Amino acid sequence: MSVRKIPERTVVTCDRCGVECSNGLGPGRRRMNGRLIVKAHSLDMVGDPVADGSFERDFCDACMSLVLDALREALRDSDE
């Protein structure tokens, strides 16, 4: 009898482009370990909070760069 140990491996899939992430070069590179966390209430039709609308998304480096660019653009006026 022989025993072969297989180390545990965590696979992250980008929530934007769907690529399986890795720390290597090329598509799916995920050295930034990018994650967007939004905490907010969901509102009903008259604007009252009715539920937790929070969410989290994991991104590869290419998609995280797009998300960061979009956030910078959306928050541009508030930085000045």
Residues that bind Zn ion (CB under 5 A): 14, 16-17, 60, 63
Which residue is it, tokens 């509102």?
A: 43
Rg (CA), the chain: 18
CB nearer Zn ion, residue 18 or residue 53: 18
* Contacts (Cβ under 8 Å, ≥6 apart) of 57: 15, 16, 35, 36
- Of 33 and 42, which CB lies nearer to Zn ion in the complex structure? 33
Angle at 33 between CA 78 and CA 67, to 5 degrees: 35
Least gap, CB of 14 to Zn ion (angstroms): 3
| Residue among 16 and 32 whose Cβ is closer to Zn ion | 16
- The least CB distance from residue 15 to Zn ion, in Å, is 8
Smallest distance, Zn ion to C-beta of residue 64, A = 8
